[in-house]
Chains A and B, each alone.
Chain A
Amino acid sequence: MADELFVLGKDGNRDKQSVECVCGTIEAADDVFMGKKLHAAGKMSPHAHARVVSIDASKALAMDGVVDVIGPEDHPQWSDVLIYVGQPFCAVAATTLAIARRALEQIDVEYEIRPAATTPEAAMASNAPLVGIWPEGNTNVRTTIDRGDLDAGFAEADVITETSTGWSTRHQHHMIEGGNTTAWWNGDECYAWVSTQNPHSEHRGLAGAFGLKQNQVRVYTHGNGGGFGSGRYATQATAALLAKRTGQVVSYHSDRIENMHSGQQFATRADIKLGAKLDGTLTAIEYKYMSDQGANSRAPMTGTHNVPQSGFRCANARFEALGIATNTPPCWYYRCVAHPGGAWTFNQAMDDMAQELGMDPYEFRMKNWVTMDDDSPDESSPRPFSHATLREIGPRIAEAIGYDSKKHANGARMLPDGRYHGIAITGHMDHHGGLSSGRAAIVHLRGDGTGFINAGISRTGGGTVSSHCHIVAERLGMNYEDINVGDYGNTGVTADGGMQAGSTNATSTGAAFYVAASDAREQLFAQAASMFEPAVNAEDLDAAEGKIFQKADPTQFLTHAEVCARASRIIGHASNNWGSTLTRPVKGYGIGDNARQRVPCATGAEVAVDPDTGEVEILTLAYCTDIGRIFFKDGAYGQAEAGCDHVMAQAKFWDQTWDAATGRSLTADFLTHRFPTSLDLPIENYHPLLHEGDSAVGPFGGTGMGEPCAGNHSAIQCAIFNAIGAWPDRGPCEPWTVLKAMGKV
């Protein structure tokens, strides 16, 4: 890749969309067509399990302003069998949103109430009612993986520990914007502004829902008020259906409670048996876990075991995953998907083992974290890691929080103010931030030497499109300021940018932009080569800092403006499938060999625990991700700081509490679900760090980085363990859970 970089990682480059965001001019799905349109709202199941026997909408339809009401029989994606509170099954379109919401109250529904299982324990009971997502029961063995000889691993161990954890945090994602869609029809063509993380997928979904050809649909997405994995909703078809029936533009608005009952992070608990030598070498890992999937058979829980599977060197292991269905809202993707639960559970076992061995828990991890000497252990066929630097970033974390001078045995240090002191470092090899296939990109150079990129993605995370501009500018040797964002998230004119998920977009769509820019570069150099006197070969040229120059004599150059003025049009494009293949040799592997792209990440936390109240104060929080290469510096540090926020929120605040009798959320709003504000986050105590380990996979050696933070809330939990010598039995670590761990409750 490039020997010298002029754009990537440069200080002072601003987010291309920051002005739109700050000024509020970025379009959101709810904000368009503010003139005449209908407004729609949905009626949600009040029951955890029921069948809709009848719907009488006559009173609602008689209200002034109510235009249409739809039910399960009308909607291509709805059912009359309701399996969780909050499941949509009815909607109203009216002249105002207030009328639509009032009309919902006037719809009489007769339900056939069915028995429900609203907790994992209830769902696993011998006489449990069927939740309704699997025909045979409420549990499902999702994954079993064996590595080496587990029995032999335990036989060679000097110490064996067994850890049974409580449930990790189940929570909602707290997007500022919920699921909104504004839809209309032009003849048999459907148009929709959608709040989504994946406009091209919604495009295909709408076509499928209405039996349309894909060229009969246009989806638009610009501003999207957050996603964190849950930025996909089922509101598109509802708005489109009402628009089709009424012949008008319809905006469907989901409210906060509806949003809170949509996709959630699942809760996980585990039974973990570890074997280790006295010197701290892990010899065996048996990791059995179960996750509450809610009412979703496809909840992505099986990544939970990735934390012990990929991050720790151990020849003998077994990983078993059990999915549990409950009559609660479906669990879907949350930032970093299953890693938070994996980290939360497995790090308890690691600390238990360290205590049994009498080793410092950070030293124990440093001894067992994988390195580039290891092949990725999570594949049957050997593959090298793209970069495995946990043992490099661990010391950076340790230095940032002053670990060596502050560490102590569990429960052994009290601060002068009477609070317990705790400190811990955890880390893992994250499976997110890698490459995923099927991304496409367009780069368009203008006659004055500037250019646009067209991106088939929304602005779900800050800075992604700006990262793409960095990649394109670097590849074309242009200045960052000369590459701007053309249209984006418009499926009619952009190439499919793929799902903004898995922290893959900067890299995966970035890889497509790398290839598209390479295509444009080839055209640019061909034009430039003919313009030099005497003419040169294109392969004798290079470009940087706004100049296209001869490699042999850089004083001989043309500007991009000079070249583009002579070129009829330069459009670079890519329909890319850049796999996880090596871009440089690693160990015995060569360029093009398959590799495992993983993102090393670690967090250090220093806490004070009040023994009177159970309150946990974060004194220091350091977080480091090895993102291989920094593309957009401000954006990358912004992600790292936001990562600290997520660590804090998961560890201390977010909590979805259910009423077990009804399966209804008791905390379905920002107040009770505890969305932390800046006053609740010790930003002044954050140490966001970035490491550039030069991944051997991906454009310019870079990886994605949004998600790996999420599993690192385990460091706070481990610091609490270090402080009080006991584990809170659930996440988040609310004061009452800490008091309980201390034996006070």
Chain B
Amino acid sequence: MRQFSHINATTVDEAASALSGGNAAILAGGTDLLGIEKDFVLSTSPGTLVNIKTIPDMDAITDDGALKIGSLAKLSDIASSSTVMSKWASVAQGAKRVGTPQLRNMGTLGGNLAQECRCWYFRGADNYWNCFRKGGTLCFATVGNNTYNAILGGQVCFAVCPSDTAIPLTALGATVVTNKRSMPIEDLFVVLGTSLDDDEIITEVEVPAPASGTVQSFQKFAIRKSFDFAVASAAVSITLGDMGVSDCKIVLGGVAPVPWRATAAEDELTNGPINETTAAAAAAKATDGALKLTDNGWLVYEAQAMVKRAILAAA
């Protein structure tokens, strides 16, 4: 990898100051960043890595009515947290499906949300493909092999959001807190990555307590169960009332550049009972608007299967 300097930040302000100017990057778990650097994925590298693991008290997991998870909380801690599992089980399920035990022991929530995509073309070693996401003019997946690229919301880049935690957090209406602002988690993600400024650091994620009668689930399909990124995933948060589903959120992962709200599926499921038939009907709506490229049409089936299973598992 290219040379860099290394700073151990002790406060968020100190870290933000070091990050300002753009020639620096946050180093937390490092499971994503170091891979990019070792393979020379980008044309340039940050001159400074700002270690934020040295900032105290940013890894807490608390319940003060809402769930608050510090951005440095390790994924393994989130996966096994009784606090998380008490009312936000799908978040724990998402964290548990990230990578391997070793990766979960290193990786943090903030890093899982802000990680780079896994598109084969973006990740080509030695910056082989200067794709649109890197400032080039073409998404090479659209003319090359796109077996695992987006079927929804692709626009100019068909890389998919690889985060497993973002999907249940979106379904549960989480808020992302940074050193600059608080925003709905949907606003964190954009087609080309995240909306974070160069000197913006995720400090915490807040998840409201689910309404009474809410059930939830996260389902992930991956080719290797041990540590693959999602081929497709789905998280559901369903509030049940006397007349069946009174409210629901259905979010797809692995098939779009951002966590993808399947609003047509939500509409299909709302105001009815949950059973095999209604779950299948909602699943069929979940991929409305899908754009199939040459190789990725199969993801429609995977996404629909995950939605159906998530609905039935939640119920």
Please report A residues at the B interface, Cβ cutoff 8 Å: 46, 98, 101-102, 105, 257, 610, 612-615, 652-653, 657-662, 664, 666-668, 671-672, 674, 676-680, 734-736, 739-740, 744-745
Contacts and interface: CB of A to CB of B under 8 A. Distances in A.
20 contacts: A46-B126, A105-B2, A105-B126, A610-B305, A612-B305, A613-B305, A653-B223, A657-B147, A659-B120, A659-B121, A659-B144, A660-B144, A660-B145, A661-B144, A672-B120, A677-B100, A680-B226, A735-B302, A736-B298, A744-B298
A739 B297 CA distance: 10
A702 B282 CA distance: 61
A657 B298 contact: no
A121 to B, nearest CB: 15
Contact of A677 (B1, B143, B226, B295): B226
B297 A98 contact: no
A666 B143 CA distance: 14
Contacts of B124: 664, 666
A613 B221 contact: yes
Nearest to B140: A659
Given A657-B145, A666-B120, A739 B301 contact: yes
Interface of B is mostly: loop
Contact of A745 (B1, B143, B297): B297
Interface string B286-311: 00000000010110011011001000
B224 A677 contact: yes
B3 interface: yes
B147 A679 contact: no
Contacts, number: 86
Given A657-B147, A736-B147, 18 more contacts: A102-B2, A102-B3, A612-B308, A614-B298, A615-B221, A659-B144, A664-B124, A666-B124, A666-B145, A677-B100, A677-B224, A677-B227, A678-B226, A679-B224, A679-B226, A734-B223, A735-B298, A744-B298
A581 to B, nearest CB: 47
A613 B145 contact: no
Contacts of A612: 301, 304-305, 308
Interface size bucket, B side? 20 to 34
Nearest to A101: B1
B298 A668 contact: no
A293 B297 CA distance: 30
Contacts of A734: 223
A629 B259 CA distance: 58
A668 B147 contact: no
A740 B128 CA distance: 31
Contact of B301 (A98, A667, A744): A744
B117 to A, nearest CB: 13
A614 B298 CA distance: 9
B39 to A, nearest CB: 7
Contact of B1 (A98, A257, A660, A678): A98
A680 B1 CA distance: 31
A679 B224 CA distance: 8
B40 interface: yes
A734 B143 CA distance: 22
B223 A664 contact: no
B301 A680 contact: no
Interface in B1-55: 1-3, 39-40
A745 B221 CA distance: 17
Nearest to A670: B227
A740 B120 contact: no
A614 B145 contact: no
Contacts of A744: 298, 301
A736 B148 CA distance: 10
B228 interface: yes
A633 to B, nearest CB: 30
A674 B224 contact: yes
Nearest to A672: B120
A668 B301 contact: no
B283 to A, nearest CB: 9
Nearest to A677: B226
B258 interface: no
B125 A668 contact: yes
Given A46-B128, A615-B221, A661 B143 contact: yes
Nearest to B232: A613
B225 interface: yes
A652 to B, nearest CB: 8
Nearest to B308: A612
Contacts of A679: 224-226
A613 B234 CA distance: 14
Contacts of B231: 735
Looking at B2, B100, B125, the one whose CB has the most chain A CB atoms below 10 A away is B125
Looking at A658, A662, A736, the one whose CB has the most chain B CB atoms below 10 A away is A736
Contacts of B128: 46, 662, 664
A677 B2 CA distance: 31
Contacts of B305: 610, 612-613
A658 B121 CA distance: 11
Contacts of A658: 145
Nearest to A44: B126
A122 to B, nearest CB: 14
Interface in B218-244: 221, 223-228, 231
A508 to B, nearest CB: 37
B4 to A, nearest CB: 11
**Which 7 A-B pairs give the minimum distances between C-beta atoms?**
A679-B226, A736-B298, A666-B120, A612-B305, A677-B226, A745-B298, A680-B224
Looking at B1, B126, B140, the one whose CB has the most chain A CB atoms below 10 A away is B126
B171 to A, nearest CB: 21
Interface in B249-307: 295, 297-298, 301-302, 304-305
Contacts of B147: 657, 736
A663 to B, nearest CB: 11
B39 A614 contact: no
A668 B143 CA distance: 20
A614 B221 CA distance: 11
A257 B39 contact: yes
Looking at B1, B221, B223, B302, the one whose CB has the most chain A CB atoms below 10 A away is B223
Contacts of B301: 612-614, 739, 744-745
A103 to B, nearest CB: 11
Nearest to B1: A98
Contacts of B145: 657-660, 666
Contact of B224 (A98, A653, A664, A736): A653
